[in-house]
Chain A
Amino acid sequence: MGIFVVAISLTTPLTEEVVRELRAGDEVTITGIVWGLRDATLIHWHDKGNEFPADLSNGVLLHTQPNVKRVGERWEPTCVGTTTSQRMDRFTRPLLERLGVRAILGKGGMSGESAAAMAEHGCVYLAVVGGAAAVETLQIEEIEAVYWEHLMPECLWRFRVRQLAPLFVAIDTHGKNLHEEVQARARENVARLTAGT
C-alpha cells in the first residue's frame, strides 16, 4: 500500500557531516540519546545563565513534557509525546551557538529565524507525528536521568530511544523549511478562494 520509502537510520551522537547530508522530506529514525525539554526547562536554562546540569553538546532535543510513573528510584514513561515547537523558537539560536545541538524534534514547525540558525550551525528539525504519543512511548527504552525535578513535568529528561519513528526532516541545512512552505501556500490559497469578496 502506498509508496515504500526506506527511512535513514541515525544513531547518536550525530555529527555535523551526517546532519548536513539530510534533505527536507527525508524520513529518518533515531536510536540513542534524546534530551526532552520544553518551555519551563528552557526558561530556567535562560535564567540560570544558559547552564544545563548535564552535557547536551552535539545533542538531539525533543520538545516534550512526559507522563511518568515513579517506580522505586526510577521514573518510567507512561506517555511521552511531542509538543508544539513554535513556543521554543526564541531558544534555537542560543542552543545551537552554545551547544552545537544537531537535531531538534518537535511538531508544527519552527520559524525562518530558527531555520537560519540551523543552516548556519548544522542542525535539522525533525517532525514527529503530534498526538500519536502512544507510538512514541513504546520507542523509549529508558529514562536514564532526570534533572530539575522541581519543574515537573517540564524537567530536563535524558531518554534512551530505539528506532524513534516516523520522523520527517522538515528543516534542513540547505534553506528548506517544509512547514513554512506549506503555510505560505495555504495563505496564497486563502487569497485565491476569497478573491473578489
Chain B
Amino acid sequence: MIESVDEEFYGVLEDAAREAYVMSLKDIPPDVRVALKAAVENESEPRAAQIMRTMLEAVELGDRGMMVCQDTGIPIYWLRIGTGAYVDGGRLRDVIEKGVRRATLETPFRSSIVHPTQRLNRQDSTGEGVPLLHFDFAAGADYLEFLMMPKGSGSENWSFLKMLLPADGEPGIRKFILDSVAAAAGKACPPLVVGVGLGGTSDQCVALAKEATSRPIGQRHPDPKVAAFEVDMVRQINQLGIGPQGLGGDTTALDVHIERAWTHNSMNPVAVNMQCWRGERRSARIHYSDHRIEWGYSW
C-alpha cells in the first residue's frame, strides 16, 4: 500500500482517458456484438436482418481501426476514486480534459461540442461542462476506475422525463416507456438499449436513466422484481414493430435497463434515455501502486 499516488499517475490517467475515448469509437463491446448477431438470427423481417448485417460489417471495420460511427458524441466519464491512497481530486478534471483534447486532435476526429447558443466549436471536444464527469468513491480501494461513454446525439435527442403521479403506479411507468420509444421510433438509431430511471429527484432520475444505458446487454438488475420488469419491457418494446432504423421488424430494443432511487412519497418520476445500437463504452481500472491498467467495457 502507498500513501499517495505519484506524479506519474496523473499522466497515466490522462493517457487512459484519451485511449478510452478513441477505443470506444472503434471497438464495439462484446455484449453488443453477441446481441446483434442473435437478433439477426431471430429477425423475421429480411430488410431488418440486412440492416443489422450492415451494422455488424461496420463493427468488423472498427476492429480494423476505423471509427464505426461518425458521431464522436459528448464525452462522459463516471469515475470511482479508491480511497486506499491519496489522489488530488482537484486535478482530475484538468487531467481528463487533456485526455479528451488529445484524443480529438491526435487521432484526429471531429469535435462535436459547441457553445449552446453561439454554436462555437473549439474543435477539441471540450467546452464549459464538457467532458461531463461524475465522481464517486470506492472505500479503501487501491485503484481509480472510470467508465467512458461518447454519447451520440441521435439517441440523446430522444430523452424523456415525466413526473408521474403516485396513483399512476407501474402501469403509468410502463406506458411512459413505450410512449417514449414510439416517439423516438427510427430517429434514435435502433435497435436500442433503453435506460430507465425510476425515483429520486428529477435530475437524479434522468442521471439514473443515462447510467442504466451503460450496463452490459443481458445483465439484469439485482432485484428480481426489477429484473423481471426489465425482461417484460424488452418483450413489449419488441412488439411495437419499429425495427432497426425504424424501417420495421422485430428488433427495436436489444435490452432495457432500470436503475432506481427512493423518492418523495408524493412523487413518481420516470426518465427514459436511449443508447443507439453500438452501445459504445470503455472502462479502465488504474492501480495506484504499479499504474497497471485493466481495460474493460463495464464495471
- Chain A interface (Cβ < 8 Å from any Cβ of B): 2-3, 5, 25, 40, 64-69, 78-84, 86-87, 107-109, 127, 129-135, 137-138, 152-153, 166, 168, 170, 178-179, 182-183, 185-187, 189-190, 193-194, 197
State whether B240 touches A131 (Cβ < 8 A). no
State whether B246 touches A131 (Cβ < 8 A). no
- A183 with B68, Cβ < 8 A, contacts A107-B245, A178-B248, A190-B175 known: no
State whether B69 touches A133 (Cβ < 8 A). yes
State whether A133 touches B247 (Cβ < 8 A). no
Which are the 7 A-B pairs with shortest beta-carbon distances? A81-B70, A134-B61, A108-B187, A197-B171, A132-B58, A79-B67, A186-B240
A3: chain B residues within 8 A (beta carbon): 46
In the assembled complex, the CB of B178 is this many whole angstroms from the nearest CB of chain A, namely: 4
State whether A179 touches B247 (Cβ < 8 A). yes
- A182 with B185, Cβ < 8 A, contacts A67-B70, A133-B70 known: yes
CA distance A74 to B67 in the complex (A): 20
- Chain B interface (Cβ < 8 Å from any Cβ of A): 46-47, 49-51, 54-55, 57-58, 61-62, 66-72, 108-112, 119, 121, 123, 152-154, 157, 171-172, 174-175, 178-179, 181-182, 185-189, 236, 239-248, 276-278
Q: List 29 A-B contacts (CB under 8 A).
A: A64-B70, A65-B70, A79-B70, A83-B154, A84-B189, A86-B187, A107-B154, A108-B187, A108-B188, A108-B245, A109-B246, A127-B245, A127-B247, A130-B245, A131-B55, A131-B278, A132-B54, A132-B55, A132-B68, A133-B68, A134-B61, A168-B47, A183-B246, A186-B240, A189-B241, A190-B175, A190-B178, A194-B178, A197-B172
Q: Which residue of B lies closest to A132 (CB)?
A: B58
CA distance A5 to B49 in the complex (A): 13
CA distance A86 to B54 in the complex (A): 22
Q: Which residue of B lies closest to A165 (CB)?
A: B54
B277: chain A residues within 8 A (beta carbon): 131
Q: Which residue of B lies closest to A153 (CB)?
A: B110
CA distance A130 to B189 in the complex (A): 6
- A129 with B51, Cβ < 8 A, contacts A2-B46, A65-B110, A179-B247 known: yes
Q: Dominant SS at the A interface? A: mixed
In the assembled complex, the CB of B281 is this many whole angstroms from the nearest CB of chain A, namely: 15
State whether A79 touches B174 (Cβ < 8 A). no
A134: chain B residues within 8 A (beta carbon): 57-58, 61-62, 66-69
State whether B54 touches A135 (Cβ < 8 A). yes
Known: A127-B247, A179-B185. 8 other contacts (CB 8 A): A2-B50, A67-B72, A78-B108, A81-B71, A132-B55, A134-B61, A182-B186, A197-B172
B172: chain A residues within 8 A (beta carbon): 197
State whether A67 touches B247 (Cβ < 8 A). no
In the assembled complex, the CB of A120 is this many whole angstroms from the nearest CB of chain B, namely: 24
In the assembled complex, the CB of A183 is this many whole angstroms from the nearest CB of chain B, namely: 4
B181: chain A residues within 8 A (beta carbon): 186
State whether A166 touches B70 (Cβ < 8 A). no
Q: Which of B67, B178, B185, B241 contacts A133 (CB 8 A)?
A: B67
CA distance A84 to B186 in the complex (A): 9
In the assembled complex, the CB of A67 is this many whole angstroms from the nearest CB of chain B, namely: 4
Q: Which residue of B lies closest to A66 (CB)?
A: B70
CA distance A106 to B231 in the complex (A): 32
Q: Which residue of B lies closest to A109 (CB)?
A: B186
State whether B66 touches A137 (Cβ < 8 A). yes
Q: Which of A68, A108, A129 contacts B54 (CB 8 A)?
A: A129
State whether B109 touches A166 (Cβ < 8 A). no
A129: chain B residues within 8 A (beta carbon): 51, 54-55, 58, 244-245
In the assembled complex, the CB of A50 is this many whole angstroms from the nearest CB of chain B, namely: 20
- A186 with B55, Cβ < 8 A, contacts A109-B185, A193-B178 known: no
State whether B186 touches A179 (Cβ < 8 A). yes
CA distance A64 to B112 in the complex (A): 12
State whether B57 touches A108 (Cβ < 8 A). no
